[in-house]
């Protein structure tokens, strides 16, 4: 998990504990090589918050395997960006309709 995301979870974990149970969540992860480790860390955190997954994890593997590729700017393919947009729209609609 990136530093900024980890910092957000570190900062928010205890203040949100006991305040967000049952709320819906979904994840979209852009990873250099795998992404399952980041997903596992998020799953552990949201288990403590007792959040409810409403969509399968979306992991985009960008295939950064060399030092040059790891340091290079990443570009998520448009079809995967579209899938993320669809996921966000579905979450918003589900919240609006009271499904989540």
* 19 vs 15: CA distance, rounded Å: 8
| Domain residue limits, the chain | 3-97
Say what the pLDDT of residue 68 is.
Answer: 92
Q: What gap in Å lies between CA 10 and CA 92, rounded to an integer?
A: 25
pLDDT at residue 82, rounded to an integer = 97
Q: How high is the pLDDT of residue 32? A: 87
Q: Which portions of the chain are predicted below pLDDT 70? A: none
Helix (H) or strand (E) holding 15: helix 3-16
What pLDDT, on the 0 to 100 scale, is given for residue 49? 96
Look at residue 65 and give its three-state secondary structure: coil
pLDDT at 33: 83
Task: Please state, in angstroms and rounded to a whole number, the distance separating the CA atoms of residues 79 and 85.
Answer: 10
Token pair, residue 17, equals: 């504990």
Condensed to tens digits (0 to 9), the pLDDT of residues 53-75 reads: 999 999 999 999 899 998 999 99
């Amino acid at each position: 998990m990136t530093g900024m995301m980890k910092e957000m979870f570190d900062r928010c974990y205890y203040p949100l504990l006991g305040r967000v149970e049952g709320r819906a969540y979904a994840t979209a992860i852009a990873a250099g090589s795998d992404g399952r480790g980041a997903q596992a860390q998020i799953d552990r955190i949201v288990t403590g918050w007792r959040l409810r997954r409403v969509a399968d994890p979306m992991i985009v593997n960008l295939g950064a395997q060399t030092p040059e590729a790891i340091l290079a700017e990443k570009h998520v393919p448009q079809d995967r960006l579209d899938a993320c947009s669809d996921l966000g729209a579905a979450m918003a609609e589900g919240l609006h309709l009271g499904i989540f």
